[in-house]
Amino acid sequence: MASFRRPLLPGLMGLAVAVGCSGDQRSDETPVTATLTQGSSLTANDAGPETGQDSSGTTVAQTTEDGGQDTTEKLDVGGGTGMNSGGDDLLGCQKVDLIFVVDGSGSMSDEQGNLLAAFPGFIDTMRTELDQAEGYNIGVIRTDGNDISCVPGRSGVLVTRNFALGSSDATCTPYASGARYMTQEDDLNEKFSCAARVGIGGDGDEQPIQSLMAALSSPNTDVGECNEGFLRDDALLVVVIITDEEDDHETEDEACGNVPASGSAGEPQDWFDAIVAAKGGVEGNIVVLSLIGPSVDPCPPLDKCNGGMDGAEPAIRLANFTWLFTHGHVGPVCGDYNPFFLDAVGDIKEACEEFVPPG
């Protein structure tokens, strides 16, 4: 079965988004703009960077946050690296590890509500479509180290207790697994609602990819550590990122008078390499769903320079990271998540059917 990248939201076709804080005072630089196209490529018109073509003939241009050209080749969406091509050995996945990276900063109350509303339909549809998969590990992590339930201050720790302003303000365990993640044996509507409502008291320097990389690597995955047992070699990994701001290295101008946010270390290609390494080097065994900016309908620009709470900041780096994956999809963080999730299930099913067992 050929792999593909679905245009999950046709309304994103050809819409341009400006990068930068709405109060940015830079006057000597040309603003970077990006176009999100139905073919899931990202092009920039800042000084007209060159574009290349992948092996399918699709034009590809990736842009760094400072307007420079990222020369990393996108994967051929006609067939992913390490994917089964069909035949008698097409066994499919038997397990799914599903991790949600949820922004807990001050502007995320509505978005967390949207996630909780869409989750039941998403997980029920996935379990119906992936009828051969029997074991689900489900976890939630924050975009900062604002956790005291395992190792205080450590990034990427699975959520078992929420305490911040606007959160569920509850202990979500015990889970049926006896560990720090949920399974299909839990009352998922209740337990997920407790864990995913992380609140709005988190760090404004969102680092979703730093948290994700930490969640899937040592020391968190070691025996006796916070996330022991969550990530399994023989499971399909599905990552869901939900944030209304970019994961970037801010300049002083972009910080709007605040301390510049450092963002996650590295660049999108580094992030991609780290996540693929966590899955034994088989990128086709990973699905990434990112609900992020662009600042287009239904996401107006986030006026973070003036304490804005509505809308979203364009997230070019997060989009580029997501689109490096054969099974990578981007949708708007504002509004109803149900269409995005339900449409994505088809590609999750394809990734499951083409799952490459370890070894």
Would 182 be classed as within a structural domain?
yes
> What domain range includes position 318?
95-353
Any residues with CB less than 8 A from the CB of 323 and at least 6 apart, and which? 5, 40, 41, 42, 74, 330
Would 6 be classed as within a structural domain?
no
Q: Residue 358: its pLDDT value, please?
A: 86
Would 322 be classed as within a structural domain?
yes
Q: Residue 166: its pLDDT value, please?
A: 93
Q: What is the pLDDT of residues 273-319, one digit of tens each?
A: 999 999 999 999 999 999 998 755 667 766 666 666 677 888 999 99
List 238's β-bridge partners, or say none. 98, 287
Would 133 be classed as within a structural domain?
yes
Would 88 be classed as within a structural domain?
no
- Measure the N-to-C terminal CA separation of the chain; round to a whole number of Å: 22
Q: Is the peptide bond before 120 cis (omega within 30 degrees of 0)?
A: no
Would 189 be classed as within a structural domain?
yes
Q: Residue 307: its pLDDT value, please?
A: 60
Q: Residue 186: its pLDDT value, please?
A: 97
Give the sign of the dihedral formed by CA 61, CA 67, CA 71, CA 77: negative
Question: 10 Å Cβ neighbour count for 8?
Answer: 22
Q: Residue 250: its pLDDT value, please?
A: 58
Would 61 be classed as within a structural domain?
no
Residue 5: name the closest of 342, 322, 353, 335 by CA.
322
At residue 246's C-alpha, the angle toward residues 158 and 50, to 5°, is: 130
Would 51 be classed as within a structural domain?
no
Rounded-to-integer distance, Cα 248 and Cα 260, Å: 10
- Residue stretches of the chain with pLDDT short of 70: 1-91, 204, 249-262, 295-298, 301-309
Q: Residue 230: its pLDDT value, please?
A: 98
Rounded-to-integer distance, Cα 63 and Cα 52, Å: 12
Rounded-to-integer distance, Cα 201 and Cα 104, Å: 6
Q: Residue 254: its pLDDT value, please?
A: 59
Instruction: Label residues 314-343 b or e (16+ Cβ within 10 Å = b).
Output: bbbbbbbbbbbbbbbbbbbbbbebbebbbe
Q: Residue 91: its pLDDT value, please?
A: 62
Q: What is the model's pTM? A: 0.75
Structural domain count of the chain: 1
> CATH number of the domain that 175 lies in?
3.40.50.410
Q: Residue 54: its pLDDT value, please?
A: 42
